[in-house]
Amino acid sequence: MRDLVLPGGTAVVTGAAGGIGAALTHGLARRGSHLVLLDRDAERLAAVAAAVRAAHPDLRVDTHVVDLADADDTARIAEVVRTAHPRIRLLVNNAGVALGGRFDQVTLAEFGWVIDVNFRAVVQLTHALLPALKADPGSHLVTVSSLFGLIAPAGQAAYAASKFAVRGFTEALRHELVDDGIGVTCVHPGGIRTGIAAAARVGSGVDPDEYEAGRRQFEKLLTIDPADAAEKIIEGARRRRGRVLVGWSATVPDLLARLLPASYGRLLALGARRAARRRSAAAPGA
């Protein structure tokens, strides 16, 4: 399959108001892509679009505010996008949410919210926009899974379930769409410096202080600039890579899961206990 040609094509990006999505938006604009940007944050989405329009006045930039947790709202926006853009060169399913807590600490409604945004919306948008991808020869589909689509640590049951589902869905589509000339890439970002951890919901049964301590420790791993991640993702799609791992915090766990598929959890738990001891030793009065 030839490399993806971005200039002059239309790219649809979800979760475009911040983080990796905003960085992807700017990276695609620099490569000459017309843009259709989706997000639930109207104000930040408008700011991203305005910056792109100012830097690239020759490009068409459309924005749509949508709550991907709402299947009806997702269907409405998908129809609007498909009608306005019958040919789509690139679809990037990037939007995602997080939920902290073990399975017995979250409600089914909280669990379902993560599945709706991270997986059901990916399936729904891809299904709705697939005819537009097929109408543009040489198009490409990108889905953003996660580090937790490679490993599934304790306390991430909902998020890992959604991201493993994205991974499986994407791998099947890669095999199904090859005869249509559509490339498919699954992305597994590691520690990207975005706001997803800070914006994560906390399960109803989770102790807030315990969760906050864990969140602060986890955020120390978020060191990769979203712009760097976006460049790697775009280049991976352009070169038709089937899988893109971003950062050592994705490549190392991927190797760990391959070598110790049933027992890597012990090493993760050991690392968490050591981190907890370091926090305790560093606490005032320790």
Say how far apart CA 32 and CA 27 lie, in whole Å.
Answer: 9
- Hunting for tokens 């604009």 — which residue is that? 29
What is the distance between the alpha carbons of residues 73 and 87, in angstroms, rounded to a whole number? 22
Q: Answer yes or no: are the C-beta atoms of 153 and 107 closer than 8 Å.
A: no
Catalytic residue among 113, 148, 159, 264: 159
Q: What DSSP designation does 269 have?
A: H
Residue 264: active-site member: no
Distance CA 187, CA 14 (A): 14
State which H helix or E strand residue 24 sits in. Answer: helix 19-30
Q: How far is residue 184's CA from residue 20's CA, in Å, rounded to a whole number? A: 18
> Letter for the amino acid at 43?
E
- The length of the chain in residues reads 286
Quick check: 119 and 40 in contact, CB under 8 A?
Answer: no
User: Active-site positions?
Assistant: 159
